[in-house]
Structure 1
Amino acid sequence: MKYAQLGSTGVFVSRVSLGAMTFGGRGDQVWSVVGALDATQSDRLVGLALDHGVNLIDTADIYASGESEEILGQVLGARRENVLLATKMTARAGAGPNDAGQSRLHIMRSLENSLRRLRTDHIDLYQIHNYDPLTPFEESLSALDDAVRQGKVRYVGASNLTAWQTMKSLGVSERRGFARFASLQSYYSLAGRDIEREVLPVVRDQNLGLLVWSPLAGGLLTGKFGRDGARDGAARRVSSEFPPVDLERAYDVVDVLRKVADRHDTGVSRVALAWVLAQPGVTSAIVGARRPDQLAENLAAVELELTGEDLAELGAASAPPPEYPGWIQADLSYRYPRTA
C-alpha cells in the first residue's frame, strides 16, 4: 500500500480506502441493492483491506439506517486502533423535525449515536455529508469544534460541497478559530470530472485532503458495462443509475479503458482507479465491494503506474466540455507581451 498526507494534517492515509456502504441492509430497499452484507461478510472485507495496508475506513450514519456503523463497530473489535475511522452525518436519521441537518442539536445527537454504534470513544474524521442551506456554518462549525475539543473527534471534514461553500466554511473557521475542515469528500471518476472546474482547484489551493467516492461511477467503469448492456446481472448499476452520468460519453471512456487495460494485461476497474489516483490533489479513493475478489482487484490499483500515453488517451476520451468562465480564463494570451 502507498500512503498520502491528509491535507495539512500530519496524518497519512492509504491511497485506497475502504467504504462500508455495502455493510448492512436495514431500512430502505436501496441498501439491499447496494450490498446488504452481514457481519461475517463484512469482517472478511475488513480483514482483507487491513492485510493490504488500508488504514482508512469510511461509513455514514445513514448507511442502512445505521446498520453499517453497527456492523463496522462489531467487526473492528481490537483492530480499532489500527484504523482511521471516518463517518458522516447530515441526512435524515429519523422522523422528527430535528432529525436532519447540521444544527448543533442534530450534530451532537448524531455524534453520540455514531460513537455508540461504532463502539468507540472517538471518531478520527467526522464529516458533514452535504450542504445544509438552513443552518449557518457558524453554528455547525462551532458544534464540530466543541466535539474536537472534547476529544470525541480528531479531525472534521465535509462531503459534497461546492467550491464557494468550501471556501466560506474555511473563512468562518479562520475568523472564529474553529477546527478547520481537513478534507473534502467528492465524487470523481473518468465518467464524472465536474470537480475539476471549481472544487479541485480549491482543494489544491487550500491544501485539503480529497477523498474520492464512487471512483468507478457506481460500477459503470468496472468493465461489466458497455453499449451492449450489463455483463453481470448482479451489478448494482443495473438497478440504480447512481451517480448520474452521460452514458454515451461513459461508453467511449470504457472503450479506451479496455484498450489501456489490455496494454497492461490488467482489469478495467484497476485502470479506472489508477487514473483517479494519478490526478493531482487526490489523497485517497474510497472503494466498496461485495466480494473479496472485487476488493482485491481494486486494492491492486495502487500498484498500477499509467504511462503518459495512457493518461492522454483516457483524458481525451473523458474530458468534460468547457464551461464559462473557464474557457475564457484558459486563454492567457492577453497576459503575455506580444512578440515582434
Structure 2
Amino acid sequence: MKMNPLGRTGLTVSELCLGTMTFGTQTSEAEGHAQIDRALADGINFIDTAEMYPVNPVSKETVGRTEEIIGTWNAANPARRGDFILATKHSGEGMQHVRDGAPISAATIPQTIEASLRRLRTEYIDLYQFHWPNRGSYMFRRNWSYDPSGQNREETLANMEACLDALQTQVDKGNIRHFGLSNESAWGTAQWLRLAERTGGPRVASIQNEYSLMCRLYDTDLAELSVNEDVGLLAFSPLAAGLLTGKYQAGAVPEGSRMSLVPELGGRKGPRAFAAVAAYLEIAERHGLDPVHMALAWCRTRPFMASAIFGATRMEQLDRALGSVEVVLSDAVLAEIDAAHRAHPMPY
C-alpha cells in the first residue's frame, strides 16, 4: 500500500481510504467492525466518516450512527487508535437533520466536534473537514447551473476567518489535529489558504471532492491549486457510486445495491453515463483488468491524489477494492482511458 503526504501536516495516508457512509444502514455494526479490521490488516491507515452518516437514506433517526459504530470499534480496540488517521466532517448549511440546517460557524464548531468525539470514543480527530461550504457548491451535479453571483464576499470571508479562529482553539485543546475541506472550489480553497497564512489558523491539508473516470471536474483549476499548494485530493465516489463496477449495465439493479435504494444515484444515472461506463468496461476487458482495479489504479496516477475513498457494503467488495493496489496501468491503458474521456466527457 503506497503512502502519500497529507498536505503539509507531516502525516502520510494510504492510497486507499476506507469510507464508512453505509455503516448503520446497508452495513451492520458487526460488518463495519470487520471491515475496519480487514482494512487495517491490509495496509490502509485512513478511515473517513461524517457526522451526518449513514446514507442510503440520510435520516434524522440515523444521523451520527456511523460515528457511533466506529466508536464502538475504538472502545474495543483502545491500543489501536494510533494505527490510523481518522477523518470526519461538520455538515454545511441546509442539512436539516443536523442543527436545523444552521451554517458552519464559530459557534457550531466546538459543539459539533465535541459530539463527534463522544460518538467516535476518541480523544482527537486527525482530520476535521467542512462537508460543504455555507455559500453552496457546484458539486452534486449542480455544476450545470452554477451561479455564484448571489454570494456575499465580505460575509464569506468574515465567516472563514471566524471559523479558522474557532478551529485553532480546537487544535490548541487537542480535539483536532488538522483541517480539511470538502465539495470546495478553487476560489474557496485559495481563500482558506490565504486567511490561514494571514491569521496563523490551521492550514487546509486536503480537499474531499468527487472524482472518478466519470467525474473529472477537478482536473483543471483545482488540480493546479493542489499541486502548487500541497493540498491533496481525497477522491470520493472513485467508482462513480458503483457505476464503474458494471453492475448496473443493461438495466440491472442488484438487490440491496445503492441504486435499489437511491434510484437516480444522486443524479448520476442516465444514458450518457451508461455509454461512458461501457467504454471503460471495454478497455478493462481488452487488457484483462478488473474494472474496479482499473478505476482505482487510475486514481493513483493523478498528480494531485492523496487518497481515494471507497465504500463497501460487504466484505467481498472491500477485498476486491484492496486488490487494486497490485495493479499498475500500462501506457496503452492510460491512452485508451484518455480517449474514452474525450469521447464521453461529463456524462452526468
**Offset, 1:96:** 4.8
**Offset, 1:233:** 3.5
**Offset, 1:281:** 0.6
Q: Which moved more, 1:165-174 or 1:76-85?
A: 76-85
Query: Residue 24 of structure 1 aligns to a residue in which SS?
Result: coil
Partner of 1:131: 133
Question: Is the counterpart of residue 58 in structure 1 residue 80 in structure 2?
Answer: no
Cα offsets for 1:28-81 (capped at 9, x unmatched): xxxxxxx2x222111111111011110000000000300000000111332222
**Offset, 1:94:** 4.7
Contact 2:14–2:44, Cα closer than 8 Å, also in 1: yes
Q: Which moved more, 1:124-133 or 1:232-241?
A: 232-241
Cα offsets for 1:163-213 (capped at 9, x unmatched): 111111111111111111111111001111112132222111211121000
**Offset, 1:272:** 1.2
Alpha-carbon distance in structure 2 between the residues aligned to 1:140 and 1:124: 18
Query: Residue 242 of structure 2 aligns to a residue in which SS?
Result: coil
Contact 2:52–2:98, Cα closer than 8 Å, also in 1: no
Question: Is the counterpart of residue 109 in structure 1 residue 111 in structure 2?
Answer: yes
Query: Residue 190 of structure 1 aligns to a residue in which SS?
Result: coil
Partner of 2:256: 234
Alpha-carbon distance in structure 2 between the residues aligned to 1:160 and 1:101: 15
1:256 pairs with 255, 274, 279, which one? Answer: 279
- Distance change in 2, residues 1:95/1:305 (3 Å): closer
Structure 1: where are the runs of 5+ without partners? 26-34, 323-340
Letter of the 2:202 partner, please give it.
A
Partner of 1:325: none
Partner of 2:24: 24
Contact 1:250–1:318, Cα closer than 8 Å, also in 2: no
Count of aligned positions: 310
Contact 1:191–1:245, Cα closer than 8 Å, also in 2: no
**Offset, 1:95:** 6.3
Letter of the 1:102 partner, please give it.
I
Q: Which moved more, 1:45-54 or 1:260-269?
A: 260-269
Question: Is the counterpart of residue 42 in structure 1 residue 32 in structure 2?
Answer: yes
Cα offsets for 1:99-120 (capped at 9, x unmatched): 6321111111100000000001
Partner of 1:328: none
> How do residues 70-219 of structure 1 correspond to structure 2 at under 5 angstroms?
70-76=68-74, 77-78=77-78, 79-91=80-92, 92=95, 94=97, 96=99, 100-133=102-135, 136-219=159-242
Letter of the 1:46 partner, please give it.
I
Normalising by structure 2, what TM-score? Answer: 0.84
Query: Residue 171 of structure 2 aligns to a residue in which SS?
Result: helix
Alpha-carbon distance in structure 2 between the residues aligned to 1:68 and 1:93: 18
Letter of the 1:85 partner, please give it.
L
Query: Residue 210 of structure 1 aligns to a residue in which SS?
Result: strand
Q: Which of 1 and 2 has greater Rg?
A: 1
Percent of aligned pairs with the same amino acid: 40
Cα offsets for 1:129-155 (capped at 9, x unmatched): 110136621111111111112111111
- Distance change in 2, residues 1:197/1:46 (3 Å): same
Letter of the 2:181 partner, please give it.
A
Query: Residue 57 of structure 1 aligns to a residue in which SS?
Result: strand
Alpha-carbon distance in structure 2 between the residues aligned to 1:168 and 1:242: 32
Contact 1:253–1:314, Cα closer than 8 Å, also in 2: no
**Offset, 1:279:** 1.3
Alpha-carbon distance in structure 2 between the residues aligned to 1:306 and 1:249: 25
Alpha-carbon distance in structure 2 between the residues aligned to 1:15 and 1:166: 22
**Offset, 1:253:** 3.0
Query: Residue 260 of structure 1 aligns to a residue in which SS?
Result: helix
Q: Which moved more, 1:300-309 or 1:108-117?
A: 300-309
Structure 2: where are the runs of 5+ without partners? 55-62, 136-154
2:315 pairs with 269, 292, 305, which one? Answer: 292
Alpha-carbon distance in structure 1 between the residues aligned to 2:208 and 2:98: 27
Alpha-carbon distance in structure 2 between the residues aligned to 1:314 and 1:233: 30
Alpha-carbon distance in structure 1 between the residues aligned to 2:293 and 2:218: 21
Contact 2:89–2:128, Cα closer than 8 Å, also in 1: yes
Query: Residue 221 of structure 1 aligns to a residue in which SS?
Result: helix
